[in-house]
Amino acid sequence: MEVEVERLPEARARVRVTVPQEDVTRAMDGAFKRLAKRYNIPGFRPGRAPRPVFERYVGRETLLRDAAEHLVEDRYPDAIQQAGVKPIARPDVQIDELDENGPLVFTAEMPVKPELALGDYRSALAEPFSVPEITEEGVDAELRRVSEEEAQLVVASEEDPVEAGSRLVIKIRGTREGEEEPFADADDYPVTIGSGTTLEGLEMQLIGLHLNEEATVTLTYPPEYPDPSLAGQRVQFEVKIKEHKRRDVPPVDEELARARGFETVQDLRDDLTKSLGERLEREAREQRLAAILARLRESIAVEVPEPMVTHQLDHQLQDLHHTLTHLGVDLDQYLGGRKLTLEGLLEEMRPGAVQRVQDELILEAIAEAEGLEVSDEEVVAAVKSVAEAYERPVNSLVENLKVSGEFETVRGNLLVDKAAQMIREPQPEIA
């Protein structure tokens, strides 16, 4: 089998395959065995008609077409491997030459992962790596965070001012400027200061008020507000604080330490110091990866295939849908609130999707240049958790992944992860 490859613009490739005439002959023999049982030839039981009779009745061209279809399906994977291209979508296949007395020639054109000229990529891997020092102030901030997480809501007195985190029940009456009829009128309206669930300007103007205090709040709705009857409108709210619960933040003491599972404050402090150090190191490694990829994106020409961008956009849209579902909001509500169409949202997401594809292609190229590999055992270990989550035997899932081709997809994802990890972890010979 002869294979010729031509790289085309826009990350596409054309692969021309020539299958020898003797293979075509054998394929026609196989086609006769397959098709003979499908036709009822007068005077013969299905599959029993001699080949010359079958060809006169059905036509030799039928055998030739079936043989060609099976040859293309059979030889395409080997041809792609021989050509050294990585398709990212189904090919457009065209039969160029088909004759029982000659070779089969077919052409497959498809989008492929581009070849990257990495150049001196190792100079980018010399990006300085440093982890910020742990300071006493940083640990103190962690202790305050822990104490705030243990805060309880308590009934506030009339002397306690409304502050961030206060939970209120207010009486509220809202009117548009120049109108008397209220557009909002509620006796028991819940508000949590700083949550963002109420109009932000209203929340902030309640800070400093006290229980049973009345106030007049004037503000202007933003022009992009989802309700067009209020968008850009100047309004006035008459409010009264009917209930006020404030956050009671406990002091950093032995009781707080015991509440977090430690004997003493020093034990808690030591644990927070350790976890802070681990977090700072993780963040430093992620910042190193981001900085190196940013440098490589500037120095390496990456022709981004559109199917990969589309695939990435689908993933981002699925992630957004999952987040919105968790918040109790559907996509239509989200789009309506932002006054966006789905097309507009995808266009907004597009730059991020393109960058992620660029990073993936660069990391794949680095993995190949560095000789990184992912074993079958590593792939099986990675899918084991999926099998357990769906209560399926690991071996069964692995076989299904191999049949569908997803096994190699998982291997590719793990290879990208391995390259990213190599960049996060500066090695002596690189640094």
55 and 79 co-located in one domain:
yes
Length of the chain: 431
Retrieve residue 188's tokens.
Answer: 């028991």
Residues 242 and 226 in one domain: yes
Q: Which pLDDT belongs to residue 128?
A: 83
To 10 degrees, what angle do helices 51-58 and 60-83 make?
A: 100
Query: Is the domain of 56 the same as that of 88?
Result: yes
Query: Mean pLDDT of successive 10-residue segments in the chain (431 residues)?
Result: 90 93 91 85 82 86 91 92 89 90 92 90 87 95 94 93 92 90 90 76 89 92 76 90 94 94 95 96 94 93 90 92 82 80 92 94 94 92 85 86 85 93 75 43
Secondary structure of residue 259 in the 3-state scheme: helix
**Are 308 and 419 contained in the same domain?**
yes
Same domain, 205 and 76: no
CA-wise closest residue to 17 among 112, 135, 132, 96: 96
Residues 130 and 12 both lie in one domain: no
Query: For the chain, what is the domain count?
Result: 4
Please name the helix (run of DSSP H) or strand (run of DSSP E) that holds residue 42, with its range, or none. Answer: none
Q: Is residue 430 part of a domain?
A: no
Q: Choose the final residue of a domain: 111, 135, 161.
A: 111
Distance CA 259, CA 257 (A): 5
What pLDDT is recorded for position 429? 52
288 and 219 in a common domain: no
d(CA 51, CA 69): 20
pLDDT of residue 198: 65
Amino acid at 228: P
Q: What domain range is 364 assigned to? A: 304-424
- Residue 329 identity (one-letter amino acid): V
Q: Domain ends where: 265, 282, 301? A: 301
Closest to 362 measured CA to CA, from 285, 429, 423, 316: 423
What per-residue confidence (pLDDT) applies to 278? Answer: 95
For residues 387 and 372, the answer to whether their CB atoms sit within 8 Å is: no
Predicted model pTM: 0.72
Q: Are residues 311 and 420 in the same domain?
A: yes
Helices assigned H by DSSP within 260-339: 265-299, 306-326, 331-338
The CATH number of the domain where 69 resides is what?
3.30.70.1050
